[in-house]
Chain A
Amino acid sequence: MTAIQIDRLSKHYGKLAALDALTLNIEQGEIFGLLGANGAGKTTLIKLLIGLLKPDAGTVQVLGLDPLRQARELRRQIGYMPQSPVLYDDLTGRENLLFWGRAHRLPDLQQRVDATLALINLSARAADPVYTYSGGMKQRLSLACALVHRPRLLLLDEPTTGVDPKLRHTFWTTFREMTTAGTTIVMSTHQMDEAIYCDRLAVMREGRVLACDAPAGLFASGQSTIEIETDAARSRHQVSDYAAALPALLREYQLDAAVRRITVEHEPLESIVLRLIGENNADVR
């Protein structure tokens, strides 16, 4: 089932095309990552999905609803975490969560607030004003505000910036649990080591999707280096599809006993993304 349908969506800021006839479908229950440099259109896309911006052209359906005309109905079902923590610094962590949760009129709000505070590991500091929190703690609280009402769709703008590895692991475990229960997660990220956990990724540049695939698919499009070491020599081979190239290479050695080691190095995702963006740059020029 499709959670988000985007059809030739465009948004301009003056002459600048933030989104340029973008078409994309996001399935229910998947973690969908938006990758791209600053200004690629990721945040604009997220803002269009929640009806904070009005598109210049194209259509978008989120959970079967129009984000502009059915904004109220849609906003009950979504959670949004902006890029920088948007919180009331003079209130405590608990008061912040209660305020954002009250908008959804939850009957068990206090319990949910307690559970969410425990999830982000902030229970001990819940009664302290937010201005005493570190950047990472604010980021966690900001995420908690988006989670407290257990939304059907979670939109996260760089959610784990400033979060330590242990807590990031907890976040991802939570995200997986949520998607298993049917929640769809759309996130923008710069962190490649994190992007590989997404079910699918869209690489964006200048408001367009350059590639959209599962991380494995993107890796397959990348270069791999196969290094074969024998008693006598070491040879390196650059291949684009290592799974297909490896048998042919091995045939040359006919399972020679002298082959001591075969190493396969994949091109990192960051390099694939940068190459995609770079190639597109060349096209544009």
Chain B
Amino acid sequence: MFANMLAVARRVMNQLRRDPRLIALSLLMPTAIVYMLSLFFEGVDVPIFKPEQFVVPIGAFIVHFITYALCAIVLVRERTSGTLSRMFISGYRPVDVIGGYLLAYSGLALVQSLIVLIGLSLLFDLGYSIEVFLTLGGIIWLLALLSITLGMLASNFARSEGQVFPMIPLVIMFSAFFSGVILPIDRLPDFIQPVRFITPMYYANNNIQALIDSSRAPIDLLNGWGGLLLYGVVLLGLATYTLREQ
């Protein structure tokens, strides 16, 4: 069952290996943003403002944005070039394509997550224990995997690269406003608050805040790890189901 998935992953990794510029940009970009973040927070001199509460969720958001946008574009390119159709004709199934891409990009996502977290720790002198650091890395990595899947889901509704571009800011704006990073969600109008459940940043931010801010009330399972995992399962199912063979 996994042989075809591994074949797709192997092929995508081969392509990534042949594109050092993409890998360099994917790793340099978050590093540069993290550095700019440190310059920005250095200039903010408000006593009640605590950068350490914001920087890790913002770091997670950077990884979320880059992996989501990258995968949405890459998969739609497979569709427009005809290779996606040819894969299905050759016997690959939607689950092989989604799973293969997820496997192939998981390595890049892991390196991105670690770079962002190490950068933030050094620049903001966060001083987390190894246990907290690794758990935060795990959350950001999991968020990156969900973002890859979300990118593939979005690309399933686009027939060209032009069509996928409007979906990028749409998803990213939802993530920014409904994750609770910028504004507490309970300050939003009641009717719009449930939107938070459709963005993976909401669950990731809840988990991150629970780890770094001990003064916060503990979150329930469904809004934390459970929500993140359940979200992943539902997203994988949707991405696979909507990847049409015809």
Contacts and interface: CB of A to CB of B under 8 A. Distances in A.
Interface residues of A, number: 28
Interface string B122-162: 00000000000000000000000000000000000000000
A90 B91 contact: no
A50 interface: yes
Contact of B86 (A51, A54, A86, A95): A86
Interface residues of B, number: 23
Closest 9 A/B residue pairs (Cβ): A102-B7, A103-B91, A86-B82, A103-B90, A90-B18, A99-B11, A86-B86, A80-B89, A75-B91
Contacts of A75: 88-91
Interface in B3-19: 3-4, 7, 10-11, 14-15, 18-19
A88 B15 contact: yes
B246 A100 contact: no
B214 interface: no
A101 to B, nearest CB: 9
Contacts of B18: 90-91, 129
Interface of B: 3-4, 7, 10-11, 14-15, 18-19, 81-83, 85-93, 245-246
A25 interface: no
A76 interface: yes
Interface string A94-120: 010001101111000000000000000
A245 interface: no
A95 B3 contact: no
Contact of A102 (B4, B15, B19): B4
A257 to B, nearest CB: 65
Contacts of A100: 86, 90
B71 to A, nearest CB: 17
Given A53-B246, A86-B85, A103-B7, 6 more contacts: A54-B246, A75-B88, A87-B83, A91-B15, A103-B91, A105-B3
B122 to A, nearest CB: 35
Given A51-B246, A86-B82, A90-B18, A78 B89 contact: yes
A95 B14 contact: yes
A84 interface: yes
A272 interface: no
Given A50-B89, A82-B82, A84-B82, A102 B245 contact: no
A15 interface: no
Contacts of A54: 246
Contacts of B81: 86
Contact of B4 (A51, A88, A90, A103): A103
Nearest to B82: A86
Contacts of B86: 80, 82, 86, 100, 145
Contacts of B82: 82, 84, 86
B91 to A, nearest CB: 4
A242 B83 CA distance: 49
A76 B4 CA distance: 13
Nearest to A90: B18
A195 B106 CA distance: 49
A192 interface: no
B85 A52 contact: yes
A84 B82 CA distance: 9
Given A54-B246, A72-B91, A103-B4, A86 B83 contact: yes
Contact of A52 (B3, B10, B246): B246
Contacts of A71: 245
> Which residue among A51, A103, A104 has the maximum number of chain B CB atoms within 10 Å of its CB?
A103
